[in-house]
Amino acid sequence: MKSALLVLREQIKHFYLIRRLSWYELKSNNKNNYLGIAWEVINPTIQILIYWFVFGSINRRANIEVVPGKDVPFIAWLVGGFILWNFFYQATIQGSKSIYTRLAMLSKMNFPMSIIPNFVIFSQFYVHLFMLLITILLLNGMGFYVNLYYLQLIYFIFATFSLVFSLSLITSTLSTIIRDVHMFLNATLRMLLYLSPILWPIAGIIDHPTILFIMKINPLYYIIEGYRAAFFGIEWYMITHWKYTVYFWALVLALFTFGSMLHVKFRRHFIDYL
């Protein structure tokens, strides 16, 4: 727990630096492209169109029933979950390699290593906010107007950020020690795309309660369904499913505690892996 409190204090103390470095990270990643930062939006848009064409064809682009008596077009349902997936995937992958790809920089800079995964995640967070704005405008154009339930988006954005940072503390440390961890994580996340309610409504396809319970162990299920509950004005998801909320934060706390302990224990030796 001491390690967790130490890492948390470092994030608060250096928050201004995290914001500065994250904006620099975003610009530097796209400085050699003619379209620059626009590619951060173009890439996920192309992916959404591909998944809409493929998986929309499978179910003949039928509407998705989000709650009994309320259907939404497949494209709206897909976008509502995919923008969250895009942020989670990009931030987790970039966060996992954030330390070992910057070991040379570490020897020249004087700041806590724990902020490195954070500013890398933050750089993807800017993109997510822009994609979120585009999604809201798109859904409003389709008749799903801004409603009171949108307030819970603030909560679910924070929940997503907490989950990604906790995971990145673990994966960035392990990837620095063993490079194969990053490759394994990439493969695992690609598989997770098809095991989460992003491309198809799992609850509407799987009837077996035990299998559905196992699928819901995935914390992404909680966040994605929370996003859609806000977009389509369904319910206060974190309150209605309060047991799921307790499970989610217990998992995040466990990951953050373990990740902090792992990071603090090994970070003094990171430079040895250069």
Q: Are 106 and 172 in contact (CB under 8 A)?
A: no
Which pLDDT belongs to residue 60? 56
Helix (H) or strand (E) segment spanning residue 126: helix 115-141
What average pLDDT does this structure show over 18-35?
A: 73
Task: Say what the alpha-carbon torsion angle 237, 242, 247, 252 is, to the nearest 10 degrees.
Answer: 60
What average pLDDT does this structure show over 135-161?
A: 91
- Residue 250: pLDDT band (50, 70, 90) is very high
Rounded distance between C-alpha atoms, residue 133 and residue 29, angstroms: 22
Q: Is the pLDDT of residue 63 over 70?
A: yes
Tell me the per-residue pLDDT of 27-60, one tens digit each, with 9 for 90 and over: 776 666 666 666 666 676 776 676 666 665 555 5
Q: Are 182 and 208 in contact (CB under 8 A)?
A: no
What average pLDDT does this structure show over 69-73?
A: 82
Rounded distance between C-alpha atoms, residue 225 and residue 236, angstroms: 11
Strand 70-72 and strand 64-67: the pairing is antiparallel
> Whose structure tokens read 């727990």?
1
- Provide the whole-model pTM: 0.88
User: Lowest-pLDDT range, 63-67, 118-122, 183-187, 236-240?
Assistant: 63-67
Cβ-proximal residues to 64 (8 Å cutoff; 6+ apart), any chain: 71, 72, 73, 74, 77, 201, 204
